[in-house]
Amino acid sequence: MTTSDDQRIAVLLRSVPVPEPRVDVGRAVRDGRRRRQRRRLGGIAAVTVMAGLGVVGAVQIGGAAGRPAPVTPALAVSPTGTVSTAPASPVTCEASWLPRPVGGPVAVANGVDPTGRYIVGDIGTGQEDGRVVLWTDGRAGVLPAGARHAAAVNAGGDVVGTNGDGTGWVYRDGKLRYLATPPGYDAVLVYAVNGRGDIAGTARGAGDSHHAVLWSADRPQEYRLVGQPGSAATGITEDGTVVGTMGQLPYRWTPQGTGAALALPDGYPRASVDSAHGEWAIGMVPGDQQGGAVQMLPVRWNLRTGAVSLLPFPGATGIAGNGDLLVGDGAPLIVAPDGASRRLPGRPEVRATEAGTYTANGISDDGLTVVGAAYENQVYRPLVWRCHR
């Protein structure tokens, strides 16, 4: 992408409302999951993040109707407030299909491990019949039928997720095992796993009670509660830092269990945290109420410095360990911490009329592998972008 392209995109993002994508692949995959999940699990009052079921989430909070729209930062401004003028190393990307080992019109890659080697996704009808697929170096394998709704995969190939009845699971070394549900709670939502095998999630009980939980991939029947009742864990970094919420505040816990609230953007009293990688985390704050629904605005934290910033995008689906932000719907975009951006290319054989029907759901730590899907001829096909410098 040229400098003029970057500038043009920056201007458009700052001044023009971004239209809704014509096809929401994530919604097609997840609508069926949500229906059953609402019946069986209800909701966590402070947290509606369903990352364990592949859903980008947000704090369930009241709207901000009547508040002026926030002034979004310029795309080319770095977190320190300086304009990035150094030319970025050229990056070229190519998209290719992932093989489909089972049939189904909805086949989507939902996550990728930090190295880009392992990719996880679902194939089915978009209802509750989906099978979890693990691609290793491009080769597809199907997990046992007892595993549904994969949430994440780590650099060792361990896959975690949550079944529709609120049972957490881990697939490791070819074996499927179920996670313990802490006493006093009747369901869990599993969101993330790091390279050490630490699994982060949230237990849910009666009266919308909930508590952040950590499990071990090699000892799934053991667990540790994180923080106080009312906490929720939605992500974990390689060093064991946990992110999530405490009440309605974005929160982080050190590997030793010490918790502290994350900063909020000026004028916003609450936020969610969706995921974290390296020293970066992303989440949402509530914007204006439009058509009876609250518009959620993406934010990014630097966990090392504590800085928080609103993002000039309709949404963010992932954050890489190097800080690259993934904007996933329509025509996926990757934005570096200094504001440099690049669009991911489409598949050459996809007709021009189908352009813009891509979604990107996961990004590797170096920002060079992105996974998602494309829609054509009433079918969703899993896709991977491989980039090179």
Q: Is the predicted pLDDT of residue 330 greater than 70, yes or no?
A: yes
**DSSP string of 74-131, one letter each residue:** PTTB-TTSPBP-SPPPP-EEEEEEPP-SS--SEEEEEEE-TTSSEEEEEEESSSS--E
Here the CATH number for the domain that contains residue 343 is: 2.130.10.10
Number of domains in the chain: 1
- pLDDT for position 364: 98
343 within 8 A of 350, measured Cβ to Cβ: no
- pLDDT for position 346: 86
Mean pLDDT along residues 335-340:
92
Mean pLDDT along residues 179-188:
97
Query: Residue type for 158, please?
Result: D
- pLDDT for position 88: 55
pTM: 0.79
The Cα angle at residue 186 between residues 183 and 187, in degrees rounded to 5: 115
Query: Residue type for 7, please?
Result: Q
Q: In which order are the strands placed within the sheet that holds 333-335?
A: 318-319, 325-327, 333-335, 341-343
Q: Is the predicted pLDDT of residue 199 greater than 80, yes or no?
A: yes
Name the nearest CA neighbour of 337 among 371, 309, 372.
Answer: 309
Which tokens belong to 356?
A: 């813009």
The overall average pLDDT reported for the chain is 80
Q: In which order are the strands placed within the sheet that holds 175-178?
A: 150-153, 159-162, 168-172, 175-178
Q: Is the predicted pLDDT of residue 219 greater than 80, yes or no?
A: yes
Name the nearest CA neighbour of 383 among 95, 25, 55.
Answer: 95
Instruction: For residue 230, name the pLDDT band (cuts at 50, 70, 90).
Output: very high
Tens-digit pLDDT profile for residues 269-309: 999 999 999 999 999 999 888 888 888 999 999 999 999 99
Instruction: For residue 351, name the pLDDT band (cuts at 50, 70, 90).
Output: low
- pLDDT for position 7: 40
Q: Is the predicted pLDDT of residue 21 greater than 70, yes or no?
A: no
Mean pLDDT along residues 314-334:
91
The Cα angle at residue 327 between residues 322 and 332, in degrees rounded to 5: 110
Residue 80 structural domain: 3-388
